[in-house]
Amino acid sequence: MRVPRRALYVLTPLASVFAGMAAAQTLVPHRAVYDLALSHAEEDSQVEALDGRWVFEFSGSACEGYTLKSRIVMRFDTTEGPRLVDQRVTSFEDAAGETLRFVTRSYIDQELDNEVKGTARLEDGSTVVDYEAPEETRRSFGPTLFPTAQMRELLERLQAGEHFYETAIFDGTEFAKQAVMVSVVVGKARPVPADDIERPALGRLAEESFVPVTAAYFDGDAADGEETSDYNVSFKLHESGIQRDMVIRYADYAMTAKLADLTLHEPDEACEQEDRE
């Protein structure tokens, strides 16, 4: 049974200019709540049912950097019995996207199952990670993007009219030996339909356009001579950086994350004005 780790950071919120969409906006600090459910399971999957809730919080500014907090609690019914999975992620990324401090803790049935903690830095064209847990060690690999910088790149490529690209990322959610490669496909902007079930939770953002995005994550393994993705995530990305209607697909099952509640916080206008000048 595979549960989301890197997928947590797909929700990194950012706002910028979209090709053919509204003018640039400031970063939008917010708290989003998502309801989780099983959408599909293969016949040989251990997962028979799941439900849960995902709470994601973003705060900070271009002056002080960005803090991401995520907690996802899922109840699984499996062929081996019920399981309760609780994953908590906290990270801080400096405004330049050059340093990432991270802590990821995963609990199964209320017992700590895994902890990943450390600091990653971009140095001389490489990503250097100093882990504190699960063990004290240093690892180095090629240049990567951290979570907020990853979303910034996506929006910049959208602005440039690109709808397919690949990039290398590091987010601190796993005890990684190498960068994770991501292939991203972005569709055309469209309005929110009147019968969209997430429309009530969007509030005033229901009047924004969104673009469909699919991101495939590769762990470097190959199958039958061809590289296959470890998992992929599709979602709807709004002008304000809010993301919703997620589908996370693994080899043996898929789960959905539907926006249930959204609270927007006021950005640091003084900082945003300074950043524009």
User: Does 82 have pLDDT greater than 90?
Assistant: yes
Q: What is the pLDDT of residue 156?
A: 80
Amino acid identity, residue 40?
A: H
Q: What is the pLDDT of residue 275?
A: 53
SS3 46: coil
Q: For the chain, how many helices (H) and strands (E)?
A: 3, 17
Average pLDDT, stretch 108-115? 95
Q: What is the pLDDT of residues 201-254, one digit of tens each?
A: 999 899 989 999 999 988 754 344 456 788 899 999 887 778 899 999 998 999
Amino acid identity, residue 7?
A: A
Residues recorded for the chain:
277
User: Does 79 have pLDDT greater than 80?
Assistant: yes
Q: Where are the domains of the chain?
A: 6-276
pLDDT band, very low/low/confident/very high, at 161 (cuts 50, 70, 90): confident
Amino acid identity, residue 168?
A: A
Give residue 215's region: left, alpha or beta (phi > 0; psi -120 to 50).
beta
- Cis amide linkage into residue 134, ω under 30° from 0: yes
Cβ proximity of 18 and 231 under 8 Å: no
Q: What is the pLDDT of residues 117-151, one digit of tens each?
A: 999 999 998 999 999 999 999 999 999 999 888 87
Average pLDDT of the chain is 84
- Cis amide linkage into residue 4, ω under 30° from 0: no
Distance in angstroms between the alpha carbons of the first and the last residue of the chain: 50
Alpha helix segments (H runs only) across the chain: 147-159, 199-202, 269-276
pLDDT band, very low/low/confident/very high, at 272 (cuts 50, 70, 90): low
Q: What is the pLDDT of residue 242?
A: 84
Average pLDDT, stretch 259-277? 74
Q: What is the pLDDT of residues 42-62, one digit of tens each?
A: 988 999 999 999 999 988 888
Angle (nearest 5°) at CA 16 between 14 and 19? 130
- This prediction has a pTM of 0.85
Give the distance, in angstroms, between the CA of residue 127 and the centroid of all CA atoms in the same chain.
19
Q: What is the pLDDT of residue 93?
A: 94
pLDDT band, very low/low/confident/very high, at 180 (cuts 50, 70, 90): confident
Give the distance, in angstroms, between the CA of residue 228 and the centroid of all CA atoms in the same chain.
20
Average pLDDT, stretch 29-53? 93
